[in-house]
Structure 1
Amino acid sequence: MKEELIEILELIKNKKFTEVRGKIINFNSVHIAELIENLELAEAILVFRMLPKDLAVDVFNYLNNDFQEKIISSINDKEIKYMIEQLYFDDMIDLLEEMPANIVKKILKHSNVEQRKLINQFLNYPEYSAGSLMTIEYVDLKKNMTIKEALEHIKEYGVNKQTIYTCYVIDEKRKLEGIVSLRKLILSDYNLKVEEIMKKDIAYVNTYQDQEEVAAVFKKYDLIAVPVVDKERRLTGIITVDDIVDVIDQENTEDFQKMAAMAPSEEKYLDTGVWTLAKNRLMWLVILMISATFTGNIIKRFEDVLQSVVILTAFIPMLMDTGGNAGSQSATLVIRSIALGEIKGKDVFKVIWKELRVSVIVGFSLAFLNYLRIRLVEKVPYNVSLAVCITLFFTVVLAKIVGAILPMIAKKLKLDPAIMASPLITTVVDATSLIIYFSVARVLLNI
């Protein structure tokens, strides 16, 4: 791509526009979009206008929001009208959601009354719901059609639809009755009725279902498209796999950000301003900084223990770090399993039992190895070594159970389990491990 970009830039510089067009029209739409985004605005618009109309629409879909806005601002009304007519409905909705008001007004000017009504309906669905993701670009069939009539219907109405591989069977009131694949239609007797070959036991989602739940349906049933219905089970649209891939990517990014104690952001890292990045991180850092004062207060409370046996201080970082790491391991596995639907709320005791057994094995192994290290290598007295290793064992057990339980509590409270990730777990485990440490030390060292 770098060599091609240099070559295209050189051709533009020398005003060899015919050669530029001849080269880029053979590129993949994604690669053309990447190339355009690497050009200066004036050159980008020039290259975009060189593209054949149909190719220009495909390329437009792959441009980032900033470039889409600049392109719409720069092209004329006739070009905008063609673009809007050719865009799939769900792509147009995505575009309208991201554009500023003046651009939206410019786009809507070229839509008819029926389109505007549909657009307003889609824009009124809650953000991140199935309704906000769906498209109306699908083929529906009546169940009393013959196979021959159904195929003729697909030929007539399926030309500009987003998918025709799966057709949706409805009754007179548009209630979803079943689905039928194009393959099955082609291979069936032309005189049969659609209802005789359709599949009735189907997966579907409601317009108000959260996009994360929709993604789970796609994964569970290995779908390339899922029908979306309203409260009366009337077919209102479909969601295709390309849209749900974007959702999965977005949800994973959001979880990673929450697990790192940051406010989620949908913007790309390099496109996000410094002040925005700082704001997204600052709130959680302040919360965690304040919560860390509990740890300081615990150390102050047991100051007499530390003054009596100063060497105990040397092992505090190791205990706290090990506890935090152990809790993060459990939390990461549980959060991921919840996201994939492998763990339900009813499985809480199974999870606790499993993590308890794992933590006993891990805690004992770490405590034993640590005892050998500090007793034989560092020559620490046996009672101090014992106090450190007993604390280490209980810290690991506690951390792993806390790391497993907190995400499940969050899910039960309808919160995102990712907010219960490593920073919060580390704070909880640090405080409790110090209490255990100093309490054990008092007993074993007779302080």
Structure 2
Amino acid sequence: MLGNLIGPEIKELIEERNFAALREAFSDWAPADIGECLTEIPEDEQAIVFRLLPHAMATEVFEYLDTEAQEKILKAMGHIEAARILNDMSPDDRTALLEELPGAAVAQMLQLLSPEEKAVAQSLLNYPDGTVGRLMTPEFVTVRESWTIAQVLDHVREFGRDSETLNVIYVTDDHGRLIDDVRIREFLIRPTTTLVSEFRDHQFVALRATDQASAAYDLFKKYDRAILPVIDSEEKLLGMVTVDDILDIQEEVTTEEMQKMGGMEALDEPYTTIALPRMIKKRATWLIILFLSEMLTATAMQNYNEEIAKATVLAMFLPLIMSSGGNSGSQATTLIIRAMGVGEVRLRDWFRIMRKELLAGLSLGVILGLIGFFRISLWQFLHIFDYGQYHWVIALTVGVSLIGVVMWGSVTGAMLPFVLRRFGLDPAVSSAPFVATLVDVTGLLIYFNVARVILHGTLL
């Protein structure tokens, strides 16, 4: 149904200003689908369509929009409508919006909030950027371990409406310290006279409000949780974080790492909205560094002018040698950075990884070396190209060089992320283009020195 309605029908209803039909059409849609539809219609019509939604649904839809769309809709709405939306948003989603706005806009938005919601918003914004405190919602349900299940359920009916989720009920002491978290199913499968203390398992996992949000993903993954409580230094329960918020953060981290691995600075904002001068600046820095690094290749080749003059055939295989080493290095660094990112590889594993990549590089080098050797021999045999009377020596030079270059590229690409991590730097900056550039220069040295040894007394 979504695919059909999002097309000509919806556009036609908007053009005809048939608001009654639009409202009826959207009544059967999920909030996420309506949010997707809003992003696909012209900006000047988004606010018009948004106003047609019932208030409760409008807030849900608003939370599914990206920050840019949220800003535009708020600007197009009156103060009363905007205040209603902001006050009804879940605290964590509202914080995500506010932290993306300029300071002046944040101050203006805060003035639209009720005193209670303003205090909540300011308390969350007071946590450092990138911490769990910025992601949590302070809306949760707590019970005491001395209560019966009947008391718990009565409490949930009375106060659970404001909680973001009721999948987990938190057990606290008289001082508000978290002592357990219990899934709601545990309350539903037991007699109502059972005390909470009789079945709580005394085992729970909690985040600190000051923990880095990017690190919280590992905890969610390790314990297979959809929700985790957030506590302060005194173990007092402050709020909870849901996995959808953590996945959003993880997506941002992954995007930044991919951009860095592509040989540039992280954009820090969507590609479609970043200003052209900022994007050029982000990309130019690394391009200049890589360009200057590649100039070392020309410097290295200057030292082998004599060899190239005597055996011009060597120059034919330079792209082959350099690309093979760069490709193997790029493969290795990409694998290791990803393995580090998901926790498969740690600093202490460096020797095991080096030994593995040494063997992998040797094997891959032998495969490519044999292909290179037989390719030259076959072209000579079929008279496709005449490499001269020393064609087999040239083939051997290329084959041995490929073994050395691929093996060196694999080890270098694998070890560079370890070196960067050891010095507290982001391994993602050891991007594939950077590794390829580094291996290009060293690959030349390997190639021409192998040629000096093997071709000595023949072509050299």
TM-score past 0.5 threshold: yes
After TM superposition, the structure 1 = structure 2 runs for residues 95-110 of structure 1, keeping only pairs within 5 Å, are: 95-110=97-112
Residue aligned with 1:271, SS? coil
After TM superposition, the structure 1 = structure 2 runs for residues 18-33 of structure 1, keeping only pairs within 5 Å, are: 18-33=20-35
Which residue does 2:422 correspond to in 1? 412
1:135 aligns with 2:145: no
Which residue does 2:383 correspond to in 1? none
Which residue does 2:10 correspond to in 1? 8
Identify the match of residue 446 of structure 2 among 436, 439, 442. Answer: 436
- Asked if structure 2 preserves the Cα contact closer than 8 Å seen for 1:355 and 1:400, the reply is yes
1:166 aligns with 2:176: no
Which residue does 1:312 correspond to in 2? 314
Q: Which deviates the most, 181-190 or 319-328? A: 181-190
**What amino acid maps onto 1:351 in structure 2?**
I
Distance 1:347 1:404 in 2: 11
Structure 1 residues 195 and 242 mapped into 2: Cα distance closer, same or farther (>3 Å)?
same
- Asked if structure 2 preserves the Cα contact closer than 8 Å seen for 1:407 and 1:421, the reply is no
Identify the match of residue 270 of structure 2 among 261, 268, 271. Answer: 268
Structure 1 residues 376 and 70 mapped into 2: Cα distance closer, same or farther (>3 Å)?
closer
Identify the match of residue 347 of structure 2 among 336, 345, 348. Answer: 345
Which residue does 1:90 correspond to in 2? 92
Structure 1 residues 426 and 42 mapped into 2: Cα distance closer, same or farther (>3 Å)?
closer
TM-score, structure 2 normalization: 0.92
- Asked if structure 1 preserves the Cα contact closer than 8 Å seen for 2:207 and 2:216, the reply is yes
- Asked if structure 2 preserves the Cα contact closer than 8 Å seen for 1:72 and 1:103, the reply is no
Distance 2:443 2:175 in 1: 63
Which residue does 1:365 correspond to in 2? 367
- Asked if structure 2 preserves the Cα contact closer than 8 Å seen for 1:215 and 1:248, the reply is yes
After TM superposition, the structure 1 = structure 2 runs for residues 351-390 of structure 1, keeping only pairs within 5 Å, are: 351-378=353-380, 380=387, 381-390=391-400
Which residue does 1:232 correspond to in 2? 234
How far apart are 1:135 and its partner, in Å?
1.6
Residue aligned with 1:178, SS? strand
Which residue does 1:427 correspond to in 2? 437
**What amino acid maps onto 2:207 in structure 1?**
V
Distance 2:396 2:325 in 1: 17
**What amino acid maps onto 2:257 in structure 1?**
D
Distance 2:77 2:378 in 1: 77
Structure 1 residues 111 and 341 mapped into 2: Cα distance closer, same or farther (>3 Å)?
same
Which residue does 2:279 correspond to in 1? 277
How far apart are 1:221 and its partner, in Å?
1.6
Distance 2:299 2:198 in 1: 73
Distance 1:319 1:87 in 2: 58
Structure 1 residues 233 and 69 mapped into 2: Cα distance closer, same or farther (>3 Å)?
same
Deviations 1:92-137 (A, max 9, x none): 1111112234442332123344433332232232222222222212
Q: Which deviates the most, 210-219 or 110-119? A: 110-119
**What amino acid maps onto 1:401 in structure 2?**
V
How far apart are 1:2 and its partner, in Å?
6.6
1:248 aligns with 2:259: no
Size of the aligned set, in residue pairs, is: 447
Residue aligned with 1:144, SS? coil
How far apart are 1:181 and its partner, in Å?
0.5
Distance 1:292 1:205 in 2: 46
Distance 2:295 2:44 in 1: 55
Distance 2:119 2:272 in 1: 37
Residue aligned with 2:246, SS? helix
Identify the match of residue 176 of structure 1 among 170, 175, 178. Answer: 178
- Asked if structure 1 preserves the Cα contact closer than 8 Å seen for 2:87 and 2:114, the reply is no
Residue aligned with 1:237, SS? strand
**What amino acid maps onto 1:417 in structure 2?**
P
Distance 1:384 1:99 in 2: 63
Q: Which deviates the most, 136-145 or 286-295? A: 136-145
How far apart are 1:296 and its partner, in Å?
1.3
Q: Which deviates the most, 51-60 or 169-178? A: 169-178
Residue aligned with 2:24, SS? helix
Distance 1:116 1:425 in 2: 49
- Asked if structure 1 preserves the Cα contact closer than 8 Å seen for 2:332 and 2:414, the reply is yes
Deviations 1:301-349 (A, max 9, x none): 1222211211111111111111111111111111111111111221111
Identity of aligned residues (%): 32
1:445 aligns with 2:455: yes
Identify the match of residue 148 of structure 2 among 146, 149, 153. Answer: 146
**What amino acid maps onto 2:273 in structure 1?**
D
After TM superposition, the structure 1 = structure 2 runs for residues 116-127 of structure 1, keeping only pairs within 5 Å, are: 116-127=118-129
How far apart are 1:83 and its partner, in Å?
1.4
How far apart are 1:77 and its partner, in Å?
2.8
Q: Which deviates the most, 48-57 or 347-356? A: 347-356
- CA RMSD, aligned part only? 2.0
How far apart are 1:429 and its partner, in Å?
1.0
1:48 aligns with 2:58: no
Residue aligned with 1:159, SS? helix
Distance 1:134 1:75 in 2: 27
- Asked if structure 1 preserves the Cα contact closer than 8 Å seen for 2:330 and 2:413, the reply is yes
Distance 1:154 1:408 in 2: 50
- Asked if structure 2 preserves the Cα contact closer than 8 Å seen for 1:33 and 1:59, the reply is yes
Distance 1:357 1:400 in 2: 9
Deviations 1:35-93 (A, max 9, x none): 22233344222211111001111111122222211222222233223212321110111
- Asked if structure 1 preserves the Cα contact closer than 8 Å seen for 2:353 and 2:414, the reply is yes
**What amino acid maps onto 1:267 in structure 2?**
E
Residue aligned with 2:171, SS? strand
1:392 aligns with 2:402: yes
- Asked if structure 2 preserves the Cα contact closer than 8 Å seen for 1:73 and 1:103, the reply is no
- Asked if structure 2 preserves the Cα contact closer than 8 Å seen for 1:218 and 1:226, the reply is yes
**What amino acid maps onto 1:316 in structure 2?**
L
Structure 1 residues 173 and 295 mapped into 2: Cα distance closer, same or farther (>3 Å)?
farther
How far apart are 1:184 and its partner, in Å?
0.6
How far apart are 1:197 and its partner, in Å?
2.0
